[in-house]
Structures are given as structure tokens and as C-alpha cells.
Amino acid sequence: MPRQKTGTMKAEEKIAAVVAEMIHEVTGKTPENKHLALQVTRREFEGDLTLVVFPFLKALRQSPEQAAQTLGKAIVERLDEVSSYQVVKGFLNLSLSDDYWQRQLAEALTGEENGGHEGPAAAPAGKEEAEGVGGQAPVVVEYSSPNTNKPLHLGHVRNNLLGYSLSLLLEAAGQKVIKVNLVNDRGIHICKSMLAWMRFGQGESPESSGKKGDKLVGDYYVQFEQALRQEVEEIMADQGLDRDEALSRASLMREARDLLRRWEARDPKVMQVWSMMNGWVYEGFDKSYQRLGVEFDKVYYESDTYLLGRDIVLEGLKKGLLYQKEDGSVWADLGADGLDDKLLLRTDGTSVYMTQDIGTAQLRHDDFHARQMIYVVGNEQNHHFNVLKKVLHKLGKPYADTIHHLSYGMVELPDGRMKSREGTVVDADDLMDEMVRTARKTTEALGKTHSLDEKEKDLLYHTIGLGALKYFILKVDPRKNMLFNPEESIDFNGNTGPFIQYTHARIRSVLRKAGDARMQEALLAMRGAPIIPKEKQLLKLLFEYPSVVEEAATSMNPGRVANHMYELARSFNQFYHDHSILGEADQASSSFRLCLARYCAEILRTGMGLLGIELPEKM
RNA sequence: GGCCCCGUAGUUCAACGGAUAGAAUAGAAGUUUCCUAAACUUUAGAUACAGGUUCGAUUCCUGUCGGGGCUACCA
């Protein structure tokens, strides 16, 4: 069901009400809400809204045709908004009057808000009560969650775009949203890049080398792994040991572990290198985030949360909620949940990944008392989050139930997943560079940049390139794995971001030509214009938008919005190809089309905005 | 081995249990004196397989086959 609007009642709700009433009159039963939901009539049939009558047949004791006829007749009689109905098999197709459509359009264009952006204030009054949550408890969305030993790659790109878009979607659906990042800034992998830098770096810095900070640190991590592999090979050859044994004897590995111990002991020298190198990485990340257009309200660092996690675990142990083995390691018994027991503190008392996440969850809960804590994390960690929830339950934390893992699929390459060992990792910055380069090439080839200065051009190419990338990724259902082929550049034609951007630019061009005065006139002058099929199709898509946003928010799937935006743009192009807006002789029709085009541009802008995609005025 | 996810045109993606399974791209053929041809039109092409549930299944259930993930005192 569409969200209840303050003020006017939508035709759909009135229709549903009439149907419910009719069914009740005849049968004495109240039909289920889900059966009263209307769907937009498919393109190939006449009508605007469709009611499926099959669910009512038993109660009404009528044939599909009869039932549809009865209901259709009653609806047309009782509601001015509905002008006619057609019955096709068990489907009742209702047509709304042209006048109703035009009133809706005028209202949409003059209202303060446009579709889907109602803001928290417009949320229905008893909503919080109904959910038993006091006030405006926010939703916390964690995304990005990078490690500080490697630059961002394509997988992070999907994660960041999803997390950011999801946050905007939830806000559009009336929630208060806090965007957070959790930086994994501690652990053996960080020590590896530190060690390599200390050994081989000779004081190299981003300034001295001109390298982006995250890249520089990533290079040392790679260098460590190479040096380590070489040392291990040598040990294996010289001493005839197997790989595991050789690994544990390798001096590099021992030094890295030693570094970790010194770090945990807060050795000032180690801390100094650590914070310096992390600083470089953050500078680099910030550049990438800025280019991607994502941001955070708060950043958590694992180095701040793992100790809290350890305290919580120790407390749980004291309370007897956890158990300790003879070697000193601490475990959660998850046998009752059908899972293996989970280690929470190692024999030497240090923390594991799970321990840190326990601390993070607690800290986050204390900070925001969120109604929901969403973690945008890859589906390879399904098990981890399952266990996390179970462990928190075991520890008696009620917020365990507020945790939701938005488990998204991997980005795969034609030969499978990215592997750093095989050098197939697609770097985020490189990818963005390439997108912008392609945007430049394509745009210049079309020769449409005369009127822009250099700065405007750069901005435009960035907008188009990033638009293509974001749309490419967000149009896919987050839960599914998706494929990226580095050999083929991401498309700019067809079902793509630039296609939608281009459609918007064309509309804006028409609107500029019309001018403000004519636009104002049009609002009043459009009444009485007959609506033709291609206009009707556009109207349907435009007014379907709010429910699409709602659906996208509840299903946490920005792809819903992306695909709707494409439908809308395509539908506009079809209309625009066949019919003139400003050249139309009939004043009412021309005005109506102008309004239609304007609303179309607005919905495209807000909808694409929810995907983090900007739409240029010209391109 | 166990658990989880996924199999839709050549390819990449759609489809609250609803009508004749939509698009894009690649292929073939067209459209520009006209508000931006990054557009529009036509054409051909798919639900892995076998059962079941029901008015109706790509969607839900069972089995088979195929792909991926997880199953660390890594993160």
C-alpha cells in the first residue's frame, strides 16, 4: 500500500477503499490489505491502475469476469477520479481521468516537496508508537570499512556506493540516518607494511615520492609479502621444511609479530610510525572518497574498539556466559545454535576480528541507540555476522537484534574474483580515472563542448564518468554477484547513467528555452489538454516514483530506483521523439507537455540523486 | 564432507505469486530542414533439468546438475 499522505487522498487509496467496502457489503468479510494493492497497468493494456480480482472470487462466488465487472462498475460510479474500466480475464484495468492526472501534476509541481522526499516531518504520526521506539531513533549505516594496508579497489567501490545510496534512500523514506565508517587500522597486516617501510623505505613519504598515501603504504605491504615469500622459499630449500614451518621461522614474520606485540604495548616508537603511516593512508582515502562522492558522519577505528570488546568478553567470562579453555583462550559456546564454538580471545590474551566487532557494536549502540544498525559488508562474511549476533545474544545484549547485515555480492572479473596475488585487483582511483577519460573522449568526439570553459569541462567529464560507473554498479541487485570486465569499458549508451544524464540535459535545454514566465503560465494553461498514450506512460512512471523509493528503501535495493530512472528516461525519449513540446500549436497541450517535461527532470534529478549521481544541465 | 547464495536471449542485467518473461549490448535493417541522434524505430533471440504446491510459478517446496562463498588462535 502506498504511504498515507497528509492532505489529499490518492486515487489508489480511494479505489482500495471502495473495493474493500464492496467486498464487505457482499460477503461480510474484510479483504486482506495485500490483495487490495493496485499495480500500474502494463503498457500493452488500456488503463492506468490494475486490480487483480482472483483473490476475491471465492468470497464473491462469481466468475473472474463478473467480479471484475461488478467492482469496475461500482468504482466508476463512486469515484470521479476514475473515468472508465476494462476487464481482461481476471484483471480489472481502471483509467483515471485526464483532469485527475493534470491536477496531480500541477500539485506536484507547486508543492513544497517533490516525489519521495517527504522528510521525517511528513512521516505518519503514530509510526513510532506503533514500533514501540521512543522519538526518532536513528538508523546507523556502516559502509566502506577499509583496511589501512591497501588502497581501495573495485569491491570497496561497490560497497561505498551501496552504503551511501542506501543511506540516502532511508532518509528519503523518512528515517534519520547516521553514516559511519569502521577503519581496520590495527593487526598483523598493518605491521607488515610498517616493517617493510622501516626496512626498505629510507624515509620515503607521500611528499618525497609524490605517491598518494594509501598507494605508498600499499606498495610496502606488497613489498613485504614479496620479501617474505622469498625468505620462505629459501628456508624451505635450505632446511627442507614445509611451508608452514618455514613461515613461522621466517625472520620477517617474527619481526612483524614482534611489532604487533610492541604496538599492543604502546611502544612509543612503533606508535609514532603507525600513526604517521595511517595518516598517509587516510589522506589518500579521503581523496578517493571525495571523488566517489561519499561521506561519513562518524569514523570508528578498530584500534579504539578492540579493547572494549576484550573487556566485554572478560566480563562475559566472569558472568559465566563464556568459557575458558585450559590454555587460557576464551570461547563462546554456540552449540545450542548449531554452530561451532567461537574463539574470542587468543591464548596470549589478544583479540580477534570478532572481539573487535563486539566492542564496535557496543560503542555504536551507546553512541546512537539506533533502531537498526546496518552493516554493508560482502556476503563472504555472512557467517561472521551470524556468529556476531549469536555471541551478542549470549552476552545478553538486547541490541543484537538491531544488527542487520546488508550482505552484498562480490564483483567478479571474467576469470573469477579479484586476486591480489595475481595482480587482477582493479584499483578504485585507476577505475575512476579511466571513466573520466572515457567520458572526455566520448564527449569531445560528439563535439558538444564548445560553450564550456576548461573548468566546466573537467566537472562535466567527472560527472559523466562517475555517473556511468555508479549507475553500472547500483543498477544491479546488491545481493547478487556482478561481473565487471576490465577489457570492455563501461557503456555510455543504452541502459546507462549517461543515457539518463543526457535525457535530463535535453529536458533542461527545452525548459531554458521556454523561460520562467512561460513555465508559470503553463501550470494554469495545461488544464483541458487531452492526454495521449506516450504522455500517459510518462505520468504513470512519474507518479509511481514514491512507491519505488519506498520499496527500494525497505528492500535496501538502490537498483529499484536505478531501473525506474531508466524506464522514465526511455519513456521520455520516446515521447519527445514523436511530439513537439514548444512547437505544439495547441496552447493547452504545449503547456501540459512543458509541465510534464519539467516534472520529469525533477524526478530524474531527485531519483538519480538517491544514487549519488549528478545530472548536468548540458552535455 | 557440512552450511549458505546463485543458474533467465551470444553477453550484461530486469520482472511484491499475476496478463504475451522486460531492457541493454553484440547482429540485421532504418530515422536528422524539426526543442541536443549519448536519441528513436523495426527485426531475431532466454527462465539449467525433473517433479510438486494452485485459478496462476522465473518467483514457493523437493531432488539432480552447474557456478560461487563460508567452514582460522586471518581480517
Q: What is the CATH number of the domain that holds A60?
A: 3.30.1360.70
A158 and A205 share a domain?
no
- Show which of A273, A295, A317 is a domain's final residue: A295
A352 and A384 share a domain?
yes
A571 and A435 share a domain?
yes
Q: What is the pLDDT of residue A9?
A: 65
A516 and A553 share a domain?
yes
Q: What is the CATH number of the domain that holds A164?
A: 3.40.50.620
Q: What is the pLDDT of residue A264?
A: 87
CA of A537 to C1' of B55 (A): 30
The answer to whether the CB of A11 falls within 8 A of the CB of A100 is yes
Residue A112 lies in a domain: no
Residue A19 lies in a domain: yes
- Show which of A295, A328, A349 is a domain's final residue: A295
Domain boundaries, position A542: 428-609
Residue A4 lies in a domain: no
CA of A159 to C1' of B12 (A): 20
A316 burial via Cβ count (<10 Å: 0-12, 13-18, 19+): buried
For chain A residues 150-209, those near strand B by a CB cutoff of 7 A are 184, 187-189
Number of domains chain A contains: 4
Residue A420 lies in a domain: no
- Show which of A351, A378, A408 is a domain's final residue: A408
If phi over 0 gives left and psi between -120 and 50 gives alpha, with beta otherwise, what is residue A528? left
A194 CB-near residues (< 8 Å, 6+ apart): A220, A259, A270, A273, A274, A277
A480 and A578 share a domain?
yes
A470 and A581 share a domain?
yes
Residue A418 lies in a domain: no
A510 and A434 share a domain?
yes
A212 and A152 share a domain?
no
A476 and A509 share a domain?
yes
Shortest CA to C1' contact from A46: nucleotide: B19
Q: What is the CATH number of the domain that holds A462?
A: 1.10.730.10
Residue A128 lies in a domain: no
pLDDT tens track for A373-401: 999 999 999 999 999 999 999 999 999 99
Q: What is the pLDDT of residue A117?
A: 42
Shortest CA to C1' contact from A90: nucleotide: B19
Q: What is the pLDDT of residue A87?
A: 94
Residue A127 lies in a domain: no
Residue A132 lies in a domain: no
A507 and A565 share a domain?
yes
For chain A residues 294-313, those near strand B by a CB cutoff of 7 A are 302
A510 CB-near residues (< 8 Å, 6+ apart): A581, A582, A594, A597
A27 and A166 share a domain?
no
Q: What is the pLDDT of residue A82?
A: 95
A480 and A513 share a domain?
yes
Shortest CA to C1' contact from A501: nucleotide: B38
Residues lower than pLDDT 70 in chain A: 1-9, 112-135
